[in-house]
Amino acid sequence: MPTKFIAFEVSRQMLIELRPILAVIARHDRQLKNQVQDAATSVHLNLGESRGRRGGDRRRCFEIAAGSAGEVDAGLDVAVAWGWIAEDCPVRRTVGRLGAILCGLCRH
């Protein structure tokens, strides 16, 4: 059985929590919804790819995932600023947690 990869599990949780948020954003700005969705997908796919990589290649996957997580966070900031979603919605905490995990992985 493979070892638990916490970043991958948190990323999956982010995707699940984003579903209803993306529906709300789409009612106001379809382009922002697509950008946040694409960035979230990129996070998860790069973490998946990292499991088959070693060394610098693996770190590069983490760096790309971290950048995409930052993009998700920025997109959610926009939605908060426009009043479309609440500042304290749970997915924001999950994205923050994921960003912290990815920051640590990028340093190794």
* pLDDT tens string 30-87: 999 999 999 999 999 999 998 876 777 888 999 999 999 999 999 999 999 999 999 9
Helices then strands (H, E): number in the chain?
Answer: 4, 0
Among 54, 77, 71, 67, which residue's Cα sits nearest to residue 102? 67
Domain count, the chain: 1
Domain of 91, CATH number, reads 1.20.1440.60
**pLDDT, greater one: 62 or 108:** 62
Q: Which domain holds residue 90?
A: 6-107
Express each pLDDT in 9-22 by its tens digit: 999 999 999 999 99
Q: What is the dihedral of CA 11, 13, 18, 20, to 10 degrees?
A: 160
Whether the predicted model's global pTM rises above the 0.85 cut? yes
Q: Is residue 1 part of a domain?
A: no
What would the mean pLDDT of 25-31 be, rounded to a whole number?
98
